[in-house]
Amino acid sequence: MNRTAVPKANSTAAAGEGAPVRFQVNQLHPHFFGEVVGLDLRQPLDTETTAALTAAIDRHGVLVFRDQQIDDEQQLRFSNMFGEPQRSITVHRQDIERRLRKEELSDISNIDEHGFKLGMDHPRRLYQLTTKLWHTDNSFRNPAGKYTFLCAKKLPAEGGNTEFADMRAAWDALPEERREQLRNLQVEHSLAYSRSLVPGSPPLDENERRSLPPSVHPLVRVHPGSRREGLYLASHAERIVGMPHAEGRKLLEALTAHATQPQFVHAHVWKPGDLVMWDNRCTMHRAMPFDEEKYVRELRRTTVAEDRPALAAQA
């Protein structure tokens, strides 16, 4: 485990002790994934701490903050420090009754407003089926998702991990000749496509089609914080622009298989109070199964938007 201490100023310094308070980052995987120790996210962050956390996530791609007793307002305030929160896509769907009042909060749970488990065929359960595929959040939107924040409230006794893949390490492992063939390719990402991959997942309705059209992104992106290149893939990635469909599918599937090999993947085992923050521009993730008939699983998600728009849509 690698350890790096990151200086920050917070309330201790403000209280007059003089010395800067530090949080520590323990790297939990050989390539990425940091555990942040020493921050209480109930407290507002100052700009220096926010900058230090941005540097930490630039380096690690994913950060976990343990034992955070934050409420929804505090999660939104923390998310807001890093970008503009995006509205949950469920606001575009008329047949979904939202349990959470704030539109920027996504309800990642299998319970109703009274805490009872939803039936397996409940629309809110069916819309979550695609989260079991490798993806990056909101790549089908324009702008796409930058950071996601997922906070655990109630967890199953077993199962329900979230797996993360390091897309920069996967890129680094490709031969340069191969990398040269991939640079400059563009990919169309579509929610309609990822929904079509999962049996039982509802197709887009009229309002979703209008509000959430496909979005085009480079296949290979230079991460703005680290300046490292990485693959930008997701289950939403439908086709490579200008390439015959079957050839594009073959390439996207081969790259996804490469990027999700065990050496690039870290399984996060959730504990109550965990807040996991990840950078959608350089990682993928997927939800792992648990016994949904037996257990309640409740998490809250917020996602902030990228600072730049997607590429112009192309034929």
Site of interaction with Fe ion (CB under 5 A): 137
Judged by beta carbon, residue 78 or residue 278, the one nearer Fe ion is: 278
CB of 106 to Fe ion, least distance (A): 9
Listed as own residue / partner, the contacts of 207-213 with beta carbons closer than 8 Å and 24 or more positions apart are: 207/92, 207/93, 207/94, 208/89, 208/92, 208/93, 211/92, 212/89, 212/92, 212/140, 212/141, 213/142, 213/313
Residue 211 in tokens: 């509000």
Judged by beta carbon, residue 104 or residue 174, the one nearer Fe ion is: 104
The 3-state DSSP class for residue 41 equals coil
The 3-state DSSP class for residue 51 equals helix
CB of 291 to Fe ion, least distance (A): 21
Judged by beta carbon, residue 98 or residue 179, the one nearer Fe ion is: 98
User: Beta strands 62-65 and 34-37: pairing type?
Assistant: parallel
What are the two backbone dihedrals, phi and then psi, of residue 82, each rounded to the nearest 5 degrees?
A: -115, 0
Q: Which residues pair with 218 in a beta bridge?
A: 186
CB of 21 to Fe ion, least distance (A): 32
CB of 185 to Fe ion, least distance (A): 23
Judged by beta carbon, residue 137 or residue 208, the one nearer Fe ion is: 137
Q: In 3-state terms, the chain is what percent helix, strand and coil (to 5)?
A: 25, 25, 45
| Position closest to Fe ion via CB | 137
Judged by beta carbon, residue 23 or residue 164, the one nearer Fe ion is: 164
Judged by beta carbon, residue 6 or residue 145, the one nearer Fe ion is: 145
Dihedral angle, C-alpha 243, 306, 87, 303, nearest 10 °: 100
What residues have CB less than 8 Å from 47, skipping those under 6 apart?
none
CB of 161 to Fe ion, least distance (A): 13
Whole-Å CA distances, 228 to 171, 177, 311: 9, 17, 20
CB of 86 to Fe ion, least distance (A): 12
